[in-house]
């Protein structure tokens, strides 16, 4: 029996759905321009976006995860962003993320871990939108690309769901969407940025642990953090030039 993935009518339906989801004009912008559409008539640089996560402010409530799912229609059992809990003990570091933390965390880690705890932290995870993204390098058809203003995106018209990008991402931020059958990931809510809105997770965070902005706008939260050079990135040894900056990140997480 021919699989649904290879069924021509199923493939046409899939592409129609994706076109409706992204919009034809947005697909053009994804490849050639900036999400904000900001002109550089004054000679200024085009926008270059970055994400900031302050670990000290994250309370592990999972509101961000739920907002992401609602905003982007993410199916069950997969997620574009998640929160991990790290509990350090003299025996090592315990890490968990029940249900991607969409419903938060139990009040305490397991008893055998909690009684040995020296410190604990909640660490939000998402796509790092790297300047040198491994996922782009391994994509055999050019479906994964980096836009001029720094978004690493997937072109649904070209993705063949080979999974190479999923394997190539050092941050575990990619998956094959079980509904659309293409590679999926956090886009920093590209469609919202195109309307001059913030990512959904940023707008709902009750503590301001998640921030977003243009590095070329000195007043933006991201630019202020970048200017201090007092931030960390995940897995710096990978040299991906991550654009997701962490404040107060425990070295055990890096």
Residue 44 pLDDT: 76
Per-residue pLDDT tens over the stretch 12-71: 444 444 444 444 445 545 565 666 555 555 567 889 999 999 999 999 999 999 999 999
Helix (H) or strand (E) holding 221: helix 221-228
SS3 state at 15: helix
Q: What is the per-residue pLDDT for 27?
A: 53
Q: Which domain holds residue 14?
A: 1-37+45-254
Write out pLDDT tens, residues 161-207: 999 999 999 999 999 999 999 999 999 999 999 999 999 999 999 99
**Alpha-carbon gap, residue 231 to 139, rounded angstroms:** 30
Residues 226-247: tens digit of each pLDDT: 998 899 999 999 999 999 999 9
Its pTM stands at 0.84
What local confidence, expressed as pLDDT, does residue 92 receive? 94
Phi, psi dihedrals of residue 125, rounded to the nearest 5°: -125, 150
Domain total of the chain:
1
CA distance 26 to 53: 27
- How far is residue 116 from each of residues 55, 85, 88, 109, measured CA to CA in Å? 21, 15, 8, 10
Q: What is the CATH number of the domain that holds 128?
A: 3.30.70.20
Mean pLDDT for all residues in the chain? 88
Tokens of 47: 């926008």
Q: Read off the tokens for 138.
A: 């391994």
């Amino acid at each position: 029996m021919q699989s649904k993935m290879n069924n021509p009518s199923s493939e046409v339906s899939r592409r129609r759905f994706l076109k409706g989801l992204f919009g034809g004009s947005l697909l053009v912008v994804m490849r050639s321009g900036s999400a904000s559409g900001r002109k550089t008539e004054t000679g200024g640089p085009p926008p270059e976006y970055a994400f900031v996560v302050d670990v000290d402010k994250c309370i592990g409530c999972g509101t961000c995860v739920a907002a992401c799912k609602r905003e982007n229609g993410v199916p069950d059992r997969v997620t574009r962003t998640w929160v991990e809990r790290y509990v350090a003990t003299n025996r090592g570091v315990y890490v968990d993320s029940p249900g991607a933390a969409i419903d938060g965390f139990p009040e305490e880690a397991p008893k055998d871990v909690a009684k040995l705890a020296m410190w604990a932290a909640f660490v939000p995870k998402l796509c790092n939108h790297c300047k040198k993204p491994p996922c782009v390098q391994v994509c055999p058809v050019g479906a994964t690309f980096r836009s001029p203003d720094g978004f690493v995106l997937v072109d649904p018209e070209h993705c063949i769901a080979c999974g190479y990008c999923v394997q190539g991402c050092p941050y575990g931020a990619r998956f094959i969407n079980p509904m659309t059958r293409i590679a999926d990931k956090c886009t920093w809510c590209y469609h919202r940025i195109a309307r001059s809105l913030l990512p959904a997770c940023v707008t709902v965070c009750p503590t301001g642990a998640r921030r977003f902005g243009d590095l070329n706008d000195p007043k933006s939260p991201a630019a202020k953090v970048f200017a201090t050079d007092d931030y960390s990135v995940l897995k710096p040894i990978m040299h991906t030039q991550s654009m997701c900056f962490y404040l107060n990140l425990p070295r055990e997480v890096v």
